[in-house]
Amino acid sequence: MLTLVPTPIGNLEDISKRAIKALLEAELIFCEDTRVTKKLLQLLSQKENLQFNCTDFRSFHLHNEKQILKNLSKDEFDKNVVYVSDAGMPCVSDPGASLVQFCIENKIDYDVIPGANALLTAFAMSGFENTEFTFYGFLAHKGKERHQKLAQVMQSNILSILYESPHRLLKTLEEIKNIDENRTLFLIKELTKMHQKYYKESAKNIFDILKNENIKGEWVIIVEPTLTKGENLEVSDIENLDLPPKTKAKLIAKITGKNVKEIYQQLLDKI
């Protein structure tokens, strides 16, 4: 069978007994990075006085997973197969989902062991009382996709959670600040590690603080929902506004995706 094993995101003591047992029994370990996994097992061996006997470590990551799956045999899973990402829960902004789907399609038994996860840990630490959230992972580095996703985050009426690297953190915060400087954010870096640090302030205040701080490390950003009042805007609401037909046509086209000229003509026909 396949067992997906979460690994510590910073503190080695967050490894569970079940995770250690799965790693001890593993005969084949798929790894996001074999070097990282071997280092983890070395540290666990020293700390827990254990002997991990698996010698078959295979790379499985975003850039090679399709090729690996193409050549993967069901017979491999007659052994105890484990998958681990570099840190945290597999399949959450990490590879692994395609391996799970392979098991589903080929009727191979699989299991996921609960464990360390930056997303849920940050959510619990944020103090926001919202019970719903949307997880966006990492934003695109640049371009239209990044702009659209950030606009979606800032317009959302439920909590939005992002991961961000130290290289793009200030850029992301500045973009959020420029949209709504008063929006409350919760930020935390280096979760579970020695230099863990968190902030909960307005977008403007956090940006001003972090401009002069050490921002090395991986970050989680939680964005307060936008405040919404009343119901969603309907086409009829716009039609009843005291606005010129051209302006109404543009607004209706924006929310329906229909052609502006056609809508404009329909509005004129109603006059």
DSSP code at position 148: H
- In whole angstroms, give the CA distance from residue 28 to residue 82: 6
206-218: average pLDDT: 93
Which pLDDT belongs to residue 79? 95
User: pLDDT confidence of 231, banded at 50, 70, 90?
Assistant: low
The arithmetic mean of pLDDT across residues 134-159, rounded, is: 92
Strand, coil or helix: what is 231? coil
The predicted pLDDT at position 230 comes to 47
CA–CA distances in Å: residue 180 to residues 154, 173, 241: 8, 10, 27
**Do the Cβ atoms of 121 and 196 come closer than 8 Å?**
no
For residue 62, which of 113, 101, 22, 98 has the smallest C-alpha distance?
A: 98
- Enter the pTM of the model: 0.79
The first and second tokens of residue 64, run together, are: 């090679």
Question: Does 93 have pLDDT greater than 90?
Answer: no
Average pLDDT over residues 108-130: 95
Is 25's pLDDT higher than 90?
Answer: yes
